[in-house]
């Protein structure tokens, strides 16, 4: 199915597009064109993966086999509407957008979602990245599954409804967690203490969770029912009323049986 | 100051005592005795670090140079009261207990607090662990600082007040973060999705924070002001009213300028 004639168009050369493009290329997939509105981004990635760099959507080859939209959620419908898909498969890489947003523009559409947070400057280990795939027909599901298996051993079939729920959970474990790091940072900053004091603890907590369920790893005053410490902490947090409310609600939630 | 005659008594052979004892021993410090109420724990650690195992506090050598209490916060006063300290230095390893809890039992007292979460079964890299030290007199502060530098390059003088604040911040970045992992776990479990989908994301988030301030790493619907996604998530969370409240409060806190 995937042979030398077979080709991918990658639309987007940001954090996801950059890493995904490089990984596909390293695994022998042929990326024919890379599009980015930012010329430098398109050229930089295209040079790395032996693709043609494009900054004009109308130049996209209408006869490629797979179109991957690695762009901002909001831009997906507009970009999709400008492609001539000729019954070819189009997917996007977003965790928070249903595949059906592509439905008005394509007969064959789906998802190719690497569940990780990417930064251009930081290498990632694709062997550890779950790839969530979905399509609106069985053949394309199987095709995307096989393609995903070329770049990661962790491939999951996740439909739109499941992916929406996965996104809620990801907001808790990633976005909200980062905000708790920010709160720790702000508390220490106010007291002229370095956030470096907490960085190793943060990393160790995340490493432990790789092999244990979170319930086994829960520690601290709330789970111990250490009311004296909780009271002291709430008193200190009078300085930060907003953090005090969060402390109270999170403590209550931990205590719940 | 620290020579061949010089000796440490380690009281407690749990998670902290185990790793701290091994590290001190590896770095050439002489641990004379290890106490644990659990005979097996005392013996197991003592065998590893060429110390005498004790299960009876009255057998503790009153002529050692440093007594390290690596025990539960609640047990510190009672155990300290049973020691004959002969003006020797006693420290505890707790992040959440003031050094002054030792004052009724000792003229020289302080803190030797490795700021990390320990499990007996998981190796830790002491090179990465901040050691927070404090004592009630300047000579002992300098002494503990030098001792700490033998086991970690990251040594901080942190007084009781600072350490109490550090503990509040640690509750946010560690205990509360773990609870957010638990929420993610519970949401996925209800939908028959594997928590393995989120584990790599959790690790990557913690790795990024090692080199960046959290503010730079904040992503997600709240910081983007993506109200449509927030509304969808809150609607889904009708199934989990408790998590819905947390989602609302955390989102509000992220949005604040």
Q: Is the pLDDT of residue A90 over 90?
A: yes
Q: In the prediction, which pLDDT does A3 show?
A: 65
Is A248 exposed, middle or buried, given 0-12, 13-18 or 19+ CB atoms closer than 10 A? middle
Query: B156 to chain A: which residues are within 8 Å by CB?
Result: 194, 197
How far apart CA A231 and CA A100 sit, in angstroms, is 49
Cα atoms in the 13 Å half-sphere on the side-chain side of B25:
19
Q: Which of B184, B210, B221 comes nearest A203 by C-beta?
A: B210
How many CB atoms within 10 Å of residue B90?
24
Mean pLDDT of A52-59: 97
Q: Which of B132, B158, B177 comes nearest A180 by C-beta?
A: B177
Q: Are A108 and A89 in contact (CB under 8 A)?
A: yes
How far apart CA B6 and CA A97 sit, in angstroms, is 65
User: What H or E segment, with its residue span, contains residue A166?
Assistant: helix A160-170
Q: Which of A212, A214, A228 to mutate to probe the B interface, most B CBs <10 Å? A: A214
Q: Is the pLDDT of residue A85 over 90?
A: no
Q: What is the pLDDT of residues A138-176, one digit of tens each?
A: 999 999 999 999 999 999 999 999 999 999 999 999 999
Answer whether B129 sits within 8 Å of A200, measured CB to CB.
yes
Interface of B with A in 99-118 (CB under 8 A): 115-117
Distances in whole angstroms, Cα of residue A178 to Cα of each of A161, A214, B195, B233, B237: 25, 17, 18, 18, 20
Residue numbers in chain B where pLDDT is lower than 70: 1-4, 257
Q: In the prediction, which pLDDT does B122 show?
A: 86
Answer whether A129 sits within 8 Å of B182, measured CB to CB.
no
How far apart CA B252 and CA A168 sit, in angstroms, is 16
Query: CA A226: distance to chain centroid?
Result: 37
Examine domains A8-158 and A164-255 and report if their fold is the same: no
B170 close contact with A: CB closer than 8 A? yes
How far apart CA B234 and CA A179 sit, in angstroms, is 18
Cross-strand bridge partners of residue A79: none
Separation in Å, CA of B13 to nearest CA in chain A:
18
How far apart CA B21 and CA B50 sit, in angstroms, is 10
The topology under which CATH files domain B8-158 is Rossmann fold (3.40.50)
| pLDDT-derived band at A1, boundaries 50, 70, 90 | low
Secondary structure of A42-95 in HEC code, one letter for each residue:
HHHHHHHCCCEEECCHHHCCCCCCEEEECCCHHHHHHHHHCCCCCCCEEEECCC
Query: B226 to chain A: which residues are within 8 Å by CB?
Result: 73
Q: Which of B128, B161, B174, B192 to mutate to probe the A interface, most A CBs <10 Å? A: B174
Q: In the prediction, which pLDDT does A257 show?
A: 66
Q: In the prediction, which pLDDT does A2 show?
A: 66
User: What H or E segment, with its residue span, contains residue B141?
Assistant: helix B138-151
B185 close contact with A: CB closer than 8 A? yes
How far apart CA A233 and CA A183 sit, in angstroms, is 14
How far apart CA B250 and CA B26 sit, in angstroms, is 44
Q: What is the pLDDT of residues A10-50, one digit of tens each?
A: 999 999 999 999 999 999 999 999 999 999 999 999 999 99
A96 close contact with B: CB closer than 8 A? yes
Q: Which residues of A163-198 are buried (b: 16+ CB within 10 A; e: fewer)?
A: bbbbbbbbbbbbbbbbbbbbbbbbbbeeeebebebb
Distances in whole angstroms, Cα of residue B241 to Cα of each of A96, A167, B248: 21, 18, 11
Q: In the prediction, which pLDDT does B15 show?
A: 93
A75 close contact with B: CB closer than 8 A? no
In 3D space, the residue among B63, B101, B103 whose CA is nearest the CA of residue B85 turns out to be: B63
What ipTM goes with this model?
0.93
Q: Give the pairing of strands B31-35 and B8-11.
A: parallel
Q: Which pairs with CB-CB distance under 8 Å and at least 24 residues apart come from A211-214? A: A213/B185, A213/B195, A214/B178, A214/B179, A214/B181, A214/B182, A214/B184, A214/B185
Q: In the prediction, which pLDDT does A122 show?
A: 86
Q: In the prediction, which pLDDT does A59 show?
A: 96
Signed CA dihedral, A135, A114, A204, B38: sign only: positive
Q: Which of A116, A177, A242 comes nearest B180 by C-beta?
A: A177
The topology under which CATH files domain A164-255 is 1.10.1040
Among left, alpha and beta (phi > 0; psi -120 to 50; other), residue B216 is alpha
Q: In the prediction, which pLDDT does A140 show?
A: 98
Q: Which of B164, B178, B194 comes nearest A217 by C-beta?
A: B178
Query: B100 to chain A: which residues are within 8 Å by CB?
Result: none
How many CB atoms within 10 Å of residue B228?
11
How far apart CA B90 and CA B66 sit, in angstroms, is 6
A47 close contact with B: CB closer than 8 A? no
Interface of A with B in 116-155 (CB under 8 A): 116-117, 119, 122, 124, 128-130, 132, 154
Q: How many CB pairs under 8 A join A and B?
A: 289
Answer whether A184 sits within 8 Å of B172, measured CB to CB.
yes
| Residue boundaries of the structural domains of chain B | 8-158, 164-255
Q: What is the pLDDT of residues A198-252, one digit of tens each?
A: 999 999 999 999 999 999 999 999 998 999 899 999 999 999 999 999 999 999 9
Q: In the prediction, which pLDDT does B4 show?
A: 61
Cβ neighbours of residue B228 under 8 Å, at least 6 residues apart?
none
Query: B240 to chain A: which residues are within 8 Å by CB?
Result: none
Cβ neighbours of residue B5 under 8 Å, at least 6 residues apart?
none
How far apart CA A247 and CA A222 sit, in angstroms, is 10
Q: Which of B200, B213, B226, B239 to mutate to probe the A interface, most A CBs <10 Å? A: B200
B218 close contact with A: CB closer than 8 A? yes
């Amino acid at each position: 199915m995937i042979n030398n004639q077979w080709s991918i168009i990658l639309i987007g050369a940001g954090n996801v597009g950059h890493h995904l493009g490089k990984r596909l290329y390293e695994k022998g997939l042929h990326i024919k064109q890379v599009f980015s509105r930012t010329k430098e981004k398109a050229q930089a990635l295209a040079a790395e993966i032996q693709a043609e760099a494009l900054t004009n959507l109308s130049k996209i080859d209408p006869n490629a086999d797979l179109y991957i939209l690695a762009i901002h959620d909001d831009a997906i419908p507009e970009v999709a509407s400008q492609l001539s898909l000729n019954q070819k498969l189009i997917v996007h890489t977003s965790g928070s957008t249903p595949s059906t947003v592509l439905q008005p523009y394509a007969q064959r559409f789906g998802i190719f979602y690497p569940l990780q947070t990417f930064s251009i400057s930081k290498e990632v280990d694709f062997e550890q990245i779950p790839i969530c795939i979905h399509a609106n027909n069985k053949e394309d599901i199987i095709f995307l599954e096989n393609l995903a298996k070329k770049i990661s051993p962790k491939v999951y079939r996740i439909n739109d409804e499941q992916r929406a729920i996965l996104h809620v959970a990801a907001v808790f474990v990633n976005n909200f967690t980062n905000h708790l790091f920010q709160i720790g940072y702000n508390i220490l900053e106010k007291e002229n203490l370095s956030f470096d004091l907490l960085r190793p603890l943060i990393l160790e907590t995340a490493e432990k969770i790789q092999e244990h369920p979170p319930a086994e790893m829960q520690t601290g005053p709330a789970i111990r029912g250490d009311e004296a410490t909780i009271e002291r902490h709430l008193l200190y947090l009078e300085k930060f009323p907003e953090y005090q409310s969060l402390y109270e609600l999170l403590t209550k939630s931990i205590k719940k049986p």
